[in-house]
Amino acid sequence: MPVGAGPYTVHGLPPVTNERFLPDDPLDDVPVAERIEVVCARDEFEPASFAIRADQDLHAVKVEIVALEAASPGTVSAPRPVVPTVDVRVVKCWYQAGGMVADQGRPLLTPELLLHDDALVRVDEKAQANHLRTVDTEGRVTYVPISTPDSNALRTVRPRDARALQPLDVPAATMKQFWLTIHAPRDATPGDYRAAIRIRPANAPETTLPLRVRVLPFLLAEPALRYGIYYRGVLARDGKAHIGSEAKSAAQYLAEMRNLRDHGVTYPTIYHGSRYSDAPGDRSFDPELIARALALRREAGMPADALYTLGVVCGSEESPEELEALQRNVRKWVDAAAQAGWGDVHVYALDEPSGDALTRMRAAFTAVHEAGGKVFAAVDLPDTFERVGDLLDVTVSQRPPHPHRARQAEGAGMQIWSYGIPNVRIEAPRTFRRSYGLLLWHAGYHGACTYAYQHAFGAHIWNDFDSPGPHRDHVFAYPTVDGVIDTIQWEGFREGVDDVRYMTTLEQSIQRARSRGELNTAGRRAEQWIAGLKAGYDIAGDLVAIRRRAARFIPELLEPR
């Protein structure tokens, strides 16, 4: 059946947008899709999206990808190409406690979860309530409420998503949004590929939507910025799976590390032994747990040149005895990291100090350096550089990014990272893409470390309505018994990282061409274009167009083979 005929229509949607597509959206202003087209480099995950709008009830709808293959002879050079993969999920709309930073006191239907099984969360639009499916150890399935002030029913909840997209229903006069993630691995074969997205309702004709994927002839560089995040998860002392932001089984911890790495975050903080940790019994240094955590990070592919720990928090120490105790704790971490093959250990300073309190931390910062460590801190003062610039190695700033502040940091011999622009509290993919991508690249910042990958401010991370205070839960990816469930805002963040990777790849390609004495006309045009972007970056500019232009320049600068 053609995509625009019959009892349902298929529409292409922009994946990374702050526009909310809800079930009752008629999609009148969204054209019927003719095809889905995706362009990606090697070592990149790239999203695409479409929606099914039903004119009648559609039952047990299957959405399948017919395997990718060369679009035509000669478009893929290798006889046995390494082909990109395609993952399909449904975008789940559910109720959250408002759409802003704080609980707004009213349920708001929000597209957020990327599920393989739409039935994992049931949504009652009349009651404005969510229910989460849980399966106990004997296989019994129940649904528990997750949109009330009381989360007692969630104490033993065990959510688990399917491994692949499951059939689902689309009621009449509603739409379902689907999310594709195309992954071109590091060794993907460049060229043009084609596939078909087959849509098969049990009670309506089948539709086929063409999918076109182009893999560009270059490998994306790692970003020039260092991407961290406040990661609160620690290995549970009982070794069991827990559903929350704190205690994790080894399987959960490894799954989350891989998820972070796949989203471009390679320097997540480590909370083992932190005064800020809410994990049971986790306020003391445990070298065995730390060694296991670092081994899991290495297994997930995290770089081992630097570690950022909240297991030591410095800044309040002033007496000789306090400073000596601080140094003992720092040395424990430095030794544990070294034994695991890890590099520089950065310890955290007291959160967001102000005025003279920051100056009084100089003795503690000096003690950390003497013990072999470095210091990072969330500090946001105009005079940070004057007060502690010679001792603070990384300042994580909440102020709007600006090139002047990057120059100040470099002049003081320190790095400046960013957080809170925003923190992980809103379901806004485009905002995260811009704020943690080209905005930081343009400002010349050295990294990002926003708050937080997961933080349940109430009793349970799957319930946005149980917080006793003003804060909503912070969640980029929801924990399950054996993995995580991504969100659309998390995918937007990854697109921001990838924007920086494209610009980093282009800048490195220009540098290599110059070193070979082969900086051609295209290279000089690329230099001028980058200089223009950095001189007058338009915060409201077209991120897709910027990436597309960078991708056109890069192949012209590759070393001839």
Cα–Cα dist 123/130, whole Å: 5
pLDDT of 538 reads: 72
- The DSSP 8-state label assigned to residue 167 in this structure reads P
**Alpha-carbon distance 298 to 337, whole Å?**
12
Distances (CA, A) of 221 to 130, 181, 493, 502, 508: 41, 20, 17, 7, 8
Three-state SS string over 481-497 comes to: CCCEEEEHHHHHHHHHH
Q: Which residues on adjacent β-strands are paired with residue 199? A: 63, 207
SS (H, E, C) 272-289: CCCCCCCCCCCCCCCHHH
Could you give the angle at the alpha carbon of 502 between the alpha carbons of 499 and 504, nearest 5°?
A: 110
Q: Please state the length of the chain.
A: 561
Phi, psi torsion values for 465, nearest 5 degrees: -110, 5
In angstroms and rounded to an integer, the radius of gyration of the C-alpha atoms of the chain is 25
Distance between CA atoms of residues 206 and 199, nearest Å: 6
- Bridge partners, residue 131, by sequence: 122, 145
Q: What CA–CA distance (Å, rounded) separates 356 from 79?
A: 67
Residues paired with residue 553 on neighbouring β-strands, in sequence order: none
Six token digits for residue 239: 């070794």
Residue recorded with tokens 């338009």: 538
Residue 379: CB atoms within 10 Å? 23
**Cα–Cα distance between 219 and 504 in angstroms, integer?**
11
- What is the DSSP pairing of strand 374-378 with strand 226-230? unpaired
What single letter denotes the amino acid at residue 554? I
460-to-66, 107, 152, 278, 488 alpha-carbon distances in Å: 39, 17, 9, 12, 21
* String of DSSP letters for 364-432: HHHHHHHTT-EEEEE---TTHHHHHTTT-SEEEE-SPP-HHHHHHHHHTT-EEEE--TT-TTS--HHHH
Please list, in sequence order, all residues whose beta carbon lies within 8 angstroms of the beta carbon of residue 386, skipping any fewer than 6 positions away: none
Instruction: Please state whether the peptide bond connecting residue 555 to the residue before it is cis, i.e. omega within 30 degrees of 0.
Output: no
Contact at 8 Å (CB) between 202 and 59? yes
What DSSP character marks residue 239? Answer: -
Residue 68 in tokens: 């990718």
The closest of 332, 384, 329 to 353, measured between CA atoms, is 384
- Structural tokens at position 297: 């990070």
Q: What is the pLDDT of residue 102?
A: 59
End-to-end CA distance of the chain: 46
Superfamily of domain 8-117+161-218, CATH level 4: Immunoglobulins (2.60.40.10)
Cα 397 to Cα 450: distance, rounded to the nearest angstrom = 10
- How far is 354 from 347, CA to CA, in rounded Å? 19
What is the rounded distance in angstroms from the CA atom of residue 44 to the CA atom of residue 219? 9
pLDDT in the model for residue 3: 62
- Tell me the three state secondary structure of residue 350: coil
Per the DSSP assignment, residues forming a β-bridge with 451 are 230
Exposed/middle/buried for 519, CB within 10 Å: 0-12, 13-18, 19+?
A: middle
Residue at token pair 């930081």: 440
Q: What is the strand order of the sheet 36-42 is part of?
A: 36-42, 207-219, 191-200, 58-70, 168-170
Tens-level pLDDT at each residue, the chain (561 residues)? 556 668 999 999 999 999 999 999 999 999 999 999 999 999 999 999 999 999 999 999 999 999 888 887 777 777 789 999 999 999 999 999 987 665 566 899 999 999 999 999 999 999 999 999 999 888 899 999 999 999 999 999 999 999 999 999 999 999 999 999 999 999 999 999 999 999 999 999 999 999 999 999 999 999 999 999 999 999 999 999 999 999 999 999 999 999 999 999 999 999 999 888 888 766 689 999 999 999 999 999 999 999 999 999 999 999 999 999 999 999 999 999 999 999 999 999 998 888 888 999 999 999 999 999 999 999 977 888 999 999 999 999 999 999 999 999 999 999 999 999 999 989 999 999 999 999 999 999 999 999 999 999 999 999 999 998 888 999 999 999 999 999 999 999 999 999 999 999 999 999 999 999 989 999 999 999 999 998 887 766 899 999 999 999 999 998 776
